[in-house]
Amino acid sequence: MTSRDEGGSGGALVGGAERTNEEYFASYEDVEIHRLMVSDAPRTQAYAAAISKNKHLFQGKVAMDVGAGTGILSMLLAAAGARRVHAVEASGMAGVIQQVAEDNGFGDVIQVHHAKVEDITLPADEKVDIIVSEWMGFYLLHESMLNSVISARDRFLSEDGTVFPSEARIYACPCSLQTLYREQINFWDDVYGFNMTAVKNYALKSKMIKPEVCLVKECDLLAEPACVKRFNLRWVTEEEVKLFAEKTFVGVTLPGAYQGLCLWFECDFDGREYDEEGQELGALITLSTSPMTPATHWKQTVVVLGYGAAHTPGQPALLCQENLNASLDSDTSASPAMNSSDKTQVHTAPPQKTHENGSRGMETETCDNTIQPGYANWVEKDEVVGWKLLFAQSEENTRHYTMTVEMLDPEEVEHPIPCVCPVPRCAIIAKMMEQDEDGNDIIDCT
């Protein structure tokens, strides 16, 4: 294992073509994309619940909807009692929003701005009381509008204003990808009696070039999910989202073939506050895209680690990327905005242990963890695995990130504090940090 201080192997990043702003906004003139997003029940219901259960934040207030799309969120804001809603939409859908507002009796409440939020001005330097936006992309950041939301917040939000969602978190978890391997990789093991090993290796390496957007079954997760990054949307700065890296170690809870790293996100809408009489108002609503909750159009994002591909020992097992790849690992439907550059490098460290390949039956038929010979990186219960995730925002387009995944040796790399892995030292430190001086539980996923 070579070193860059953390004990992982290094490598050069490779770039790719990116869509222009014009192409990006034009893609959102496709009504099918909006149908897909609005029909995403967990997504739309979370926003509807966050607004309806926190009406005290909207009644008689000025709100802004950044990236208004069809205007569905703007109408929810108006229905909750907002006296004015600034609906900001850069695509040609802006003209449709105005008609939708008038058709639903909100023509005098919803004011449409056909422009990027960075380019608009509000009358008489008006401030808004709350900003609502569905800005999230795959694994939270890919094709997201986070920088636009931060810009709108810094320019237009009042000092005591609110941002919905209020917090966003990225999670990661080791996973098995047996369905993907069986259907798309091991297919090449038996092709009319010919030796297609070279094609098999090429197929696996091509999967490693870019993240897979797919639905991962809960029973394919090999450990407890780790929250690797959180953003407080009221205070996060553009500088903080340009470049960040997180090291994570976890203990395996389910023996299986460790073939990928599964990423997803959660967003909180926290409208809770207290009135003058000390009574709590509002509610906390969470939108989750995890494998443990109903599927969304974001699905999950998987980095295929490529164990079993033919490559020289110690050599990075791949390498770069072009696009997010829609996988058929589970039943999926088309997802929006998946044809722009998204960059991933996967660096693999030498195997921590060598285990005999075997098979493991499941109690249900929903997961197939049968080991595929030569392509499994078998891990046992309580074994510690680690990785480093680095996200670097493109200087040319803030919606694009280079995501680098580096596998770490838990015996050679210093663990972060706190660390959730079962290594005795980490477990002792974590226990000591569970309570603060007042005896209150500490929750910190950064």
List active site positions: 134, 143
C-alpha distances out from residue 315 to 10, 436, 444, Å: 10, 45, 35
Task: Collapse the DSSP code of 151 into the 3-class scheme (helix H, G, I; strand E, B; otherwise coil) and give the result.
Answer: helix
Gap between the Cα atoms of 197 and 185, Å rounded: 10
Q: Are the beta carbons of 400 and 393 closer than 8 angstroms? A: yes
Gap between the Cα atoms of 361 and 268, Å rounded: 37
Identity (one letter) of the amino acid at 164?
F
Task: Collapse the DSSP code of 66 into the 3-class scheme (helix H, G, I; strand E, B; otherwise coil) and give the result.
Answer: strand
**N-term to C-term CA, the chain:** 27
Instruction: Read off the tokens for 138.
Output: 């795959």
Q: Are the beta carbons of 415 and 426 closer than 8 angstroms? A: yes
Task: Collapse the DSSP code of 220 into the 3-class scheme (helix H, G, I; strand E, B; otherwise coil) and give the result.
Answer: helix
Angle between helices 31-38 and 41-52 (to 10 degrees): 70
| DSSP tag of 29 | T
Could you please report the per-residue DSSP string of 329-374? SS-----SS-SSB-EEEEE-PPPS----------SSSS------TT
